[in-house]
Amino acid sequence: MADRAIHPSTPVPQRTTVTALAPDAPAAVSLPVPAAPSAIRSYLSQRGSGALADRSFGAIMLLCACSIFAIVIFIASILVLRSRLSLTQFGLKFFTGQNWDPVSGDFGALPFIFGTLATSLVALCLAVPLALGVAIFITELCPKVLRAPISFLTELLAAIPSVVYGLWAVFVLVPIVRDQLGPWLAKYLGWTGFFGGTNFGVGLLTASIILAIMILPIISSLTRDMMTAVPTSQREAVLALGATRWEMIRIGVLRNARIGIVGAVILGLGRALGETMAVAMTIGNHPVISKSLFAPGYTLASAIANEFSEATGDLYLSALIEIGLALFLVTIVVNAIARVLVWAVTRGAPARVA
Amino acid sequence: MSAQPNLPDLTPPVSSPARPPMNFGTRAMRVHFGYRKATNLLVGGLAILATVIVIAPLVAILIYLIYKGASSLNVAFFTRPPAPVGEQGGGMANSIFGSGVILTLASLMGIPVGIAAGVYLAEYGRGKLLGNAIRFTADVLNGVPSIVMGIAVYSLIVMQQKHFSAFAGGVALAIMMVPTVTRTTEEMLATVPHSIREAALGLGVPKWRTTISVALKTASPGIITGCMLAFARVAGETAPLLFTAFGNQFWSFKLNEPIGALPLQIYVYAISPYDEWHRLAWAGSLVLIVLIMVSVTLVRIFASRGVLKGGS
C-alpha cells in the first residue's frame, strides 16, 4: 500500500522546487494551483478518516485485555458462589477442622493444608539449592559450548507434563523410595523423627521429591535471568579486588540479585502449592497429619482431583469448591508477592549495591 | 565475609613511603588464601554436582519412557479406541483425536484474545496504570493452579449444562493459554523498533493498520513462538480436563459430549491395576512427550533463527 502511494507522487516535489527557484515572484500571484490533487491527497480523501476504525480497534484490544481481569473476577466469584453452602456452614472452622468425613458431612481442611505446606516446603528445600547450583553453573562457570545444551535440557524438564511425572514416579520413584532411599533415611536420620513409621513408598516424601523435580526448572531459569541482569561491571569490580570466582559470585552476583532470587523461589512455591496430578498419584491420598515424611498425606489440589467427580451431596461439593477457592486465593497472593519481587529487579531498577 | 578484612592496602607507596609493603607471605595469609581457594573449588564442584543431579531425572525419565513406551507402540495404538478390560490390544486413537479437538478449541479461543490483549499492552497501555494492572494480573493468572481453572469452568459450564463436554475442556485450556500468549505478544511487540511504526504512520497509514501490518507482522516469529509454548504447556494438562472434558472410552465427535484426551487417558491407565493398561499409559506418555518436545524444539529453532528471541 505504501508503495502505491509514494510512487505516483514523485512529480510533486519537483513542482515545488520549480516555484522555489523563483524567489522574486510574489507568492500570492504565481502560486501554482495544482489542477488535480496529488496522488497521496486523493488517496487519503477517498478513504474516510481512520478515526472510527482506529477507535474501535483500540476498543477491541482494550476489551480483550480487560478479559484478563474478567477471568480472575469470574473465577473468584463463581468459586465463592458455589462454595456458599460450606462457607456459611463451617466459616473459619473449615480451615482448622481436622476431620474430613464426607459420610457424616463434617469437613475440615487442616490435613490438606498441612499436606500442601509440608510437601511444598520440603520440595523447596530440595529444589532451591539445586536450582541455585544449576543457575550458578550455567551463568558463571559453564564453558560456552555447554551453556545452550544444558539450559535447554533444564527447560525440557518444564515441558514434561505433570501426569507423565506422576506415571514415572509411580513406577520408578516409589520403589526407590520404598526399598533404597527410605531405609537409608530411617537408619541415619531416623532420630530426627521425620523418618519414622512404616514406609510404603507413597507418601509426603515421594510427593515432595517429584514436586522438587517439577519446580526446579522454573526456579533455575528465573534465577538465571536475575543473575544475568546483574551488570558485568559488578563482577569485574569484585574480581579486581582479588576475589576468587566464588567470592565474585557471592559478593558481586548473588547479593545483587537476591531480591529477584527470592521472587523466583516464591514463584516456585506457588507452582508447588497448586501442582495436582503428580502429587495425587504419589502422596497416598489419606487425610492425616503426621510428623513422619513416610506417612501418606493429602494436598488441597489432589483432594479436589480425587474426590470432585465422586462428590455426592451439595455440601460435599461446596466444601471441595471452597478448597479450590482457598487454593486460588493463596496462589494469587503468593504469585503477586513473587512478581513484585521479580519486577523490582528486572524492571530497570538499579542493582542494589549492598 | 572473609575477604574484606584481608583486602590488601592499595595506597600507592608514593603517598606514604614510610609504610612497609604488605606482606602476603605470612603463614596466616597463605592458610587463608588456601582456604579461599578451597571454598572456590568446593562451590564449583557443588554447582557441577547440582547440574548433574538435575539432568539425571530428565535423562532417567526419557530413557525409561522410550524403553517402556516404544515397545508398546503399534499401529493399533493410533487407530483403535481402548479395548475392554482383559482384552489385548486397543489403542488411544479416540483420546488423541479428542486432545486434538480440545486443543483446537482452546487455541481458537485463547490465542486471538491473548494476542489482542498483548497488542493493547504494547501499543496502547504502555506506561498507563491500566496497562500495568493488566500485565500484573496476567502474570498472577499464569500462576493459578490448573485444577482451579478446572473447577471454575465446571461450576460455570458443566453445572449449567448438566453434562461434561469437549467445549468446557476447551474453555478451561483457553483460559490457561491467554496469559502466556498475552505476555509473549507484548514482549515481542516491544522489540519492534518505533521507527518502523513511525514510518508507516508518516505515510498516513492509520494506527490499526500499522499495528496489524507492521508491528504484528514484524514480531510474528516471536508471537508464533509464544503461541506454541502456550500450546505445549496446555497440551499436557490433565487437571483442568478432569471435570470438564471428563474423558471417554469411545469415539466422540460432538462438542457437547464428554470426550477423551491423551493426558486424561494416561492418568486413568496409570492408576489402574492392570499391566496391559500400564503399558498403554507408557505408550501414551511417549506420544504426548514427543508431541510436546517436537513443538518446543520447533519453537527453539524458530526463535534462534529469527532476529527476535523467544521470551520466557
Residue B77 lies in a domain: no
Q: Domain holding B100: CATH number? A: 1.10.3720.10
B306 has pLDDT over 60: no
B308 has pLDDT over 70: no
Q: What digits encode the pLDDT tens for the residues B264-277?
A: 999 998 988 888 88
Is A156 in contact with B43 (Cβ distance < 8 A)?
no
pLDDT of residue A280: 92
pLDDT of residue B127: 83
pLDDT of residue A35: 63
Each domain of chain A, given as residue ranges in start order, spans: 1-47, 83-346
* Residue range of the domain that includes B56: 4-70
Final residue before a domain boundary, out of B35, B70, B105: B70
Distance in Å, alpha carbon of B281 to nearest chain A alpha carbon: 8
List chain B residues with CB under 8 Å of A162: 236-239
pLDDT of residue B272: 86
| B 180-219 near A (Cβ less than 8 A) | 182, 200, 203-209, 211, 213
Determine the residue of chain A that is closest to B281 in CA distance.
Answer: A167
pLDDT of residue A2: 42
Is B116 in contact with A60 (Cβ distance < 8 A)?
yes
Q: What digits encode the pLDDT tens for the residues B61-115?
A: 889 999 988 888 888 888 888 877 767 777 888 898 999 999 999 999 999 999 9
Q: What's the total number of domains in chain B?
A: 2
| Secondary structure letter of residue A202 according to DSSP | -
Tell me how many degrees the CA angle A31-A36-A42 measures, rounded to the nearest 5. 120
B9, B46, B51, B142, best to mutate vs chain A, most A CBs in 10 Å: B51
Lowest mean pLDDT across A65-69, B129-133, B157-161: B157-161
Question: Could you give the dihedral angle defined by the CA atoms of residues A340, A346, A348 and A353, in that order, rounded to the nearest 10 degrees?
Answer: 90
Contact A221/B at CB under 8 A: yes
Is A133 in contact with B266 (Cβ distance < 8 A)?
no
Determine the residue of chain A that is closest to B269 in CA distance.
Answer: A167
| In a shared domain, residues B64 and B114 | no
| In a shared domain, residues B164 and B15 | no
- Nearest CB neighbour to B47, from listed A136, A243, A277: A136
Final residue before a domain boundary, out of B70, B96, B123: B70
Write the single-letter amino acid at A278: A
List chain A residues with CB under 8 Å of B53: 130
pLDDT of residue A341: 87
| In a shared domain, residues B180 and B64 | no
Residue B311 lies in a domain: no
What integer best gives the mean pLDDT of chain B? 85
Determine the residue of chain A that is closest to B278 in CA distance.
Answer: A167
Is B266 in contact with A220 (Cβ distance < 8 A)?
no
- Nearest CB neighbour to B143, from listed A1, A63, A331: A331
B138 has pLDDT over 60: yes
Tell me how many degrees the CA angle A9-A11-A16 measures, rounded to the nearest 5. 110
Contact A297/B at CB under 8 A: no
| In a shared domain, residues B87 and B65 | no
Quickly count: other Cβ atoms within 10 Å of residue B56's Cβ.
11
- Nearest CB neighbour to B175, from listed A64, A71, A335: A71
What integer best gives the mean pLDDT of chain A? 83
Is B204 in contact with A44 (Cβ distance < 8 A)?
yes
| In a shared domain, residues B203 and B147 | yes
| In a shared domain, residues B91 and B19 | no
| In a shared domain, residues B116 and B232 | yes
Q: Which CATH number fits domain A83-346: 3.30.420.40, 1.10.530.10, 1.10.3720.10, 3.40.50.12780?
A: 1.10.3720.10
pLDDT of residue A18: 42
Cα dihedral sign, B182-B188-B190-B192: negative
Final residue before a domain boundary, out of B46, B70, B94: B70
Of the pLDDT bands very low, low, confident and very high (cuts 50, 70, 90), residue B7 is low
Q: What digits encode the pLDDT tens for the residues A50-103?
A: 678 888 899 999 999 999 999 999 999 999 999 999 999 888 888 888 888 888
Contact B73/A at CB under 8 A: no
Query: Helix A255-274 crosses helix A110-136 at what angle (to 10 degrees)?
Result: 140
pLDDT of residue A50: 64
pLDDT of residue A220: 92
The kind and range of the H/E element at A277 are helix A277-282
3-state secondary structure of A106: strand
The ipTM estimated for the assembled molecules is 0.83
Phi then psi for residue A107, to 5 deg, are -125, 120
| A 227-256 near B (Cβ less than 8 A) | 241-247, 249, 251
